[in-house]
Amino acid sequence: MKSPITRLAAAAVFLAGASLFIGLLIHTTPAAYGLDQTVAANQQFRSLHITDFCAGHDEPKEFWIECDEQGQIKNARWYMPAWDAPEDGAKVVVWKADTVQVWFQKKKGLTTWTGQSAPLWLLDAALATNPKISVAQLQAEQAQGKVQLEIQEPADKAQPIVVTATYPPQGQSPGRRTVLRVNQATKLVLSREGFTWKDGQYVSEYRQEFSDYNVPIDPGLFNLDAIVPAEVRRYDGNAMDNRGLPQDSLTDEEIATAVVRQFFEALIAQNYEKAGQLLCGTPAAEMKETFGKMRFLRIISMDKPTPHPIPEIGGLRVPCKIEVEKDGVKSVWEPYGPFVRTTHRKMEHPRWEIHGGL
C-alpha cells in the first residue's frame, strides 16, 4: 500500500492549489465573511471531534482526528455503529503512526497491523471527515462553476454564519445541497449537513457536528490494547495479510465463486487452516471449534453471485447448497450468504475473502 505520507502530502498540495481560487469567489449575498477566513483559521487546526448523524439512524458515527505541527493527520479514531456494517457489527478503528487496530465488538476480536502504512480506505475516511479539506474543495468547485454559494451572516454575532452550497442536477444525478454553519468569532465550521433533492424538496441525508477544536486528546484513546476486555481475541494482522484469494485476471463474480468453492472444499477435507484463511484469516483451532461439529460432505450447487443486499457493505453473495451430516443425520444447508468482498478495499492487487453470512 502507498505511504500515508505520500497520500497526505497530496492532500496538502490540493489544499494549497485550492486556495488560489479564493480571489475568484462570488457571493450571491454580500457579506464580510468569506471561506478564505475559515481556511486561514484551519491553519492552527490540531485536533477535532466529529459526530456524524445519518438519516434513518439514531446512533451516530464518531471520529477523533489529531494532526501534527504541519497540519497532517497523524492519529485518528473511528467508532462505527452496527448499522454501518451489520455483518461486522459495531467496531472501533484506530490509526496511530504505523499501527492500525480494528476492534470488532460483535465478533469479539481485535486485529492489529504494525510496521506498515494505513489502508487506503482508512486514509480516505480520515480526509473525508476533515472540515479543512471539505472547505477547500468547496472553494475549488465554486470557482469551477460547479456550485452556487449563498452566505448569510447574522447581525447577532452569537449566531453562526450559514453557508449554503447548491449543486444543480447533472444527468441522472438529482440536485444536492450542503449547508455549513460557521462560528462568527473563530471562523471554524460548527456543522455540515448534506441534502438530496427528492420529491420536490431537499431532504437531509447526513449531519456532521464538529467540536473540541484544538482540545488535547487523551493518548489512551488511540491505544485499544488498554481498552478492550481481556476475553477479546487478539489477532496479528501482519500474519493475516495473505488471507483470501488473489483476484488476478478473474472477474468479481469469478473470484467470489472461487473463494466460496475453495472454502467448502477445505471444510470437506477438514483443512481448517485453509478454510480459515478464506474466512477473514480465522485461526485453524477456532475454525475447527466452529465447524468441526458437523461433517461437510459435498457441494450440491452454487448459483450466480448477486450484489450484497446492503449496498454500503459491498461485495457479492454466492448462493449455494451444501450437504452436511451432524449426529448421523444428513441434511442440506443453505447459508444466508456466503458474503465475499476484498480484504482491503482499493488495494493495488485485491484479494477476496468470505466476511460473513455463514
Same domain, 280 and 166: no
224 in any annotated domain: no
Same-domain pairing of 123 and 267: no
199 and 321: one domain? Answer: no
The C-alpha atoms of residue 309 and residue 13 are separated, in whole angstroms, by 39
Clarify whether residues 341 and 193 are in a common domain. no
In a domain, 236, yes or no: no
Same domain, 259 and 343: yes
* pLDDT computed for residue 122 by the predictor: 65
> Based on the domain organization, do 118 and 77 belong to the same domain?
yes
Examine the domain organization and report whether 88 and 128 are in the same domain.
yes
| pLDDT of the residue at 34 | 81
Q: Is 11 left (phi over 0), alpha (psi -120 to 50) or beta?
A: alpha
**311 touches 339 (CB < 8 A):** no
Q: How far apart are CA 183 and CA 228, in angstroms?
A: 37
Residue 234 lies in a domain: no
Contacts of 137 (CB under 8 A, 6+ apart): 14, 18
- Both 189 and 264 in one domain: the answer is no
Q: Which residues of 234-267 are buried (b: 16+ CB within 10 A; e: fewer)?
A: ebebeebeebbbebeeeebeebbbbbbebbbbbb
Assign residue 176 the CATH number of its domain.
2.50.20.20
Question: Considering 211, 230, 254, which residue would you say is the last residue of a domain?
Answer: 211
103 is a domain residue: yes
Q: What domain range is 330 assigned to? A: 242-356
- Is residue 186 domain-shared with residue 300, that is, in the same domain? no
Q: Is position 310 within any domain?
A: yes
Q: Where are the beta strands (DSSP E) in 156-259?
A: 161-167, 176-182, 189-198, 201-211, 233-236, 245-246
Counted domains in the chain: 2
Note whether residue 237 is domain-resident.
Answer: no
Does 11 share its domain with 143?
Answer: yes
Give the residues across from 110 on adjacent strands.
103, 234
Domain match, 133 and 259 both: no
Q: Are residues 53 and 114 in the same domain?
A: yes
Judge whether 197 lies within some domain. yes
pLDDT by position in tens, the chain (length 358): 444 433 433 333 333 333 333 333 333 444 478 888 888 888 888 899 999 999 999 999 999 989 888 777 788 899 999 998 777 789 999 988 788 889 988 888 888 888 766 665 666 666 667 787 778 888 888 888 888 889 999 999 999 999 999 988 877 778 899 999 999 999 999 999 999 988 889 999 999 999 999 999 999 899 898 889 988 888 777 766 678 999 999 999 999 999 999 999 999 999 999 999 999 888 888 899 999 999 999 999 999 999 988 776 789 999 999 999 999 999 999 999 999 998 864 456 789 999 888 8
Please report whether residue 190 resides in a domain: yes
Q: Decide which of 211, 234, 255 is a domain's last residue.
A: 211
Nearest one of 212, 70, 214, 193 to 134, comparing CA atoms: 193
Closest CA to 261 of 340, 347, 356: 340
Cell numbers representing residue 158 in the block: 452569537
What 3-state DSSP class applies to 56? coil
Q: What is the phi/psi pair of residue 3, to 5°?
A: -65, 135
CATH number at residue 311: 3.10.450
Q: Of 211, 231, 265, which marks where a domain is finished?
A: 211
DSSP 325: E
Q: Answer for the pair 112, 98: CB distance below 8 angstroms, yes or no.
A: no
